Amino acid sequence: MGPGENLTVVLHQTQSPENLGAVARVMANFGFTRLVLSEPVTQDLETAGRLAVRGEQVLEGARVCGSLGEAVEGMVYAVGTTSRSHLRGRRTLTPEEAVARLAQESARGPVALVLGGERRGLSDEDLMRCQDALVIPTSDVQPSMNLAQAATVLLYLCAREGRAAPAAIEPPGASLGLLQALEGWMRQVLLEVDFLNPRGPDAMVNELVQALQRARLSPREAELWLGAFKHLARRLVHPLVPPTNPPTNPTNDPPTNPPSPPGRGKG
C-alpha cells in the first residue's frame, strides 16, 4: 500500500512560481492532491497556474503555513529531502527506503514529503522537523536537482508504491505537534534538574526524541509522557512556565490539553 490520500507534499520557502506550478502538475500526474506551502517566497500564483496544466485544483486547494513546524504538526511522519549524503547524527535514506517508510507510516495517519526551497534546500534546523532525511543519488557533475525534478522522481515512486498489496490498518500514531510539545517540556524539565548541559542541550534532546519516535507512540502514549513531564515540572521547587518550542525531530490529532510548545524559563 502506498501513501495515497494520506500523503501531503510540503514545499518550504519555494521561490519560483514556475517550480510551484510544475510541482502541482506532477502531483496531478500521479494523483496526489494535498499541497502545503510553508513560508512561501513567491506569491505569484498566476504564473504558477500557467505551469500547472490540469493541476490548477492542487494549487487552489493549497494551504499556506507560516512555519515548517506548523506545516507538519498534524502529521505522524515526515521525511525531508537533502542533497547532503552525510548528516551529523543521522543516516539518510534512499528514495526507495523513504517511500517505503511513507507508505508504512501512512497506515497510522497523515504523512508528509518535505522539499526545500531552490536557494538552499532544507537547513539542519528544517530537517530536525522531520523524522528522516532522504537523498536522491546524482552525478558529481551536477549533484543538485531542480525542485520540480526531485518532486517528479519521488512522487512517481510514491505512486508506484501505491500499486502494491494493501497493508494492514494500524492504530493511529501521535502527531508531530504532540511530540514537539513533549520535546519542549522534556527539554525544560531536564535543563531544570541539570540533566542537560545548558550550553548545548540539543544533541541529547534529539537522541531522546528520536528514541521516542522509533517507538511509534500512540496519541495516548504520547499524552502519558507529556503528562508525566508536566507533573514533574509542577513538583519542582520553582514551577516552570509552559515552554515555547525550538525545532527538533519530532507526529494528526491535537493533544487533549494542548500545551504551549519549548524554551526554558522560570515563573
Domain ranges within the chain, ordered by starting residue: 4-161, 173-267
How confident is the model at residue 212, as a pLDDT?
Answer: 87
Q: Which pLDDT belongs to residue 120?
A: 84
Distance CA 8, CA 252 (A): 12
Query: HSE-up of 28 (CA within 13 Å, CB side)?
Result: 19
pLDDT tens-place values along the chain, 267 residues long? 566 789 999 999 999 999 999 999 999 999 999 999 999 999 899 999 999 999 999 999 999 999 999 999 999 999 999 988 888 778 899 999 999 999 999 999 999 999 998 888 899 889 989 999 999 999 988 888 899 999 999 999 999 987 655 556 778 888 888 888 898 998 989 998 889 988 888 888 888 888 888 888 888 998 999 999 988 888 875 555 666 665 544 444 444 454 554 444 444
Provide the pLDDT for residue 90.
83
CA–CA distance from 173 to each of 7, 98, 117, 178 (Å)?
15, 18, 29, 10
Beta-sheet pairing, 111-115 with 77-81:
parallel
The identity of residue 51, as a single letter, is L
The CATH class, in words, for 4-161 is alpha beta
Task: Please give the model's pTM, rounded to 2 decimal places.
Answer: 0.76
Could you tell me where the beta strands, DSSP code E, fall in the chain?
Answer: 7-12, 34-38, 63-65, 77-81, 111-115, 132-134
6: DSSP letter: G
Distance CA 186, CA 172 (A): 23
Q: How many CA atoms lie within 13 A of 35 on its CB side?
A: 27
Q: Specify the pLDDT at position 235.
A: 81
